[in-house]
Amino acid sequence: MDRREHHRAQLSLPVRLRWSTPFGQKTELCKTSDISRGGLLVPCGETHALGVPLWVTFPYDPSLRDGQPEMLAQVVRVAPCLNGSNGNAATGTKEKSMTGSQAAAIAVQFQPLFHAEGNGNGHAKDLERRGSPRRPLAVPVRVRLEHVPWFEEAMTIDVSAQGLRFLTTREYAQGANLLVSFEPLASVPWPTGADVASRVVRIESIPQSSALAVTITRQS
């Protein structure tokens, strides 16, 4: 019995996948096998485990270098890839293209916006004290502890002028001082191209995931 929530359509359209590794972020350009309102089936050359988060740009236009929205998704199924090549040309030094050899076809499901129900320690959600509204925004951000030269490449969940949340698999302590930076051309309400001092104010677990949502606020 077909239990899919949304009808699938067999369409081959370009898609870019982004994910985090211990050595930084990686991207791969693929083409879909079929699509629905809730997700995609994508033959790809990289190996992805069930449950891992991905950021999906779909449909992806390689002629536009910046500003294409990325949607948070999760790998919900992995199957051997039996189709032919879904090749696409690479568009950057960090992006990997399909060359005719696919490891598997992965089914990804788009994830709803994560709304915090607690502060990560079992207590009820704190009273909202934001001075500026947040907007959902997924862009790469570099994060490192103060006085530590090695940074993590993470992805934001939402951003305001004074704070942001990012998704990470690393552990950060409440109250820790961080330095964060965005690419010079990033469209964010934070300074770009330089480190910005910030402080961890909340750490939240993500349901059915090993990742954490870390909220930081800018230091004056």
**Which CATH number is 19's domain given?**
2.40.10
Q: What is the DSSP letter of 98?
A: -
Shared domain check, 106 and 22: yes
Neighbours of 182 (CB within 10 A): 21
Provide the domain limits for residue 183. 135-218
Which of 48, 77, 110 is where one domain is finished? 110
What per-residue confidence (pLDDT) applies to 128? 44
DSSP 3-state helix, strand, coil percentages of the chain (rounded to 5)? 0, 45, 55
Residue 171 lies in a domain: yes
Q: Among residues 193, 138, 190, 189, which one has the least CA distance to residue 166?
A: 138
CB neighbour class for 177 (10 Å; exposed up to 12, middle 13-18, buried from 19):
middle
- Encoded tokens for 209: 């995931």
Shared domain check, 142 and 99: no
Shared domain check, 141 and 97: no
Which of 67, 93, 110 is where one domain is finished? 110
- Encoded tokens for 92: 């950057």
Integer Cα distance of 105 and 46 in angstroms? 10
Residue 119 lies in a domain: no
What per-residue confidence (pLDDT) applies to 122? 42
Shared domain check, 82 and 144: no
- Measured in degrees and rounded to the nearest 5, phi and psi for residue 161 equal -65, -25
Shared domain check, 175 and 94: no
Residue 101 lies in a domain: yes
The domain total for the chain is: 2
Q: How far is CA 164 from CA 30, 64, 114, in A?
A: 30, 26, 13
Residue 3 lies in a domain: no
Residue 9 lies in a domain: no
Shared domain check, 152 and 74: no
Specify the CATH number for the domain of residue 207: 2.40.10.220
Integer Cα distance of 220 and 8 in angstroms? 49
Total-model pTM: 0.71
* Contacts within 8 Å (CB) and 24+ apart, 166-170: 166/141, 166/213, 166/214, 166/216, 167/53, 167/72, 167/206, 167/211, 167/212, 167/213, 167/214, 168/143, 168/211, 168/212, 168/214, 169/20, 169/210, 169/211, 169/212, 170/212
What per-residue confidence (pLDDT) applies to 23? 75
Shared domain check, 176 and 97: no
Residue 6 lies in a domain: no
What per-residue confidence (pLDDT) applies to 13? 94
Per residue of the chain (220 residues), give pLDDT as tens.
Answer: 445 566 788 999 999 999 887 777 889 999 999 999 899 999 999 988 888 888 999 999 988 876 788 888 989 999 876 544 444 433 333 444 444 566 789 999 998 766 554 444 444 444 445 566 788 889 899 999 999 999 999 999 999 999 999 998 889 999 999 999 998 888 899 999 899 999 999 999 877 677 889 999 999 7
- Encoded tokens for 24: 């930084």
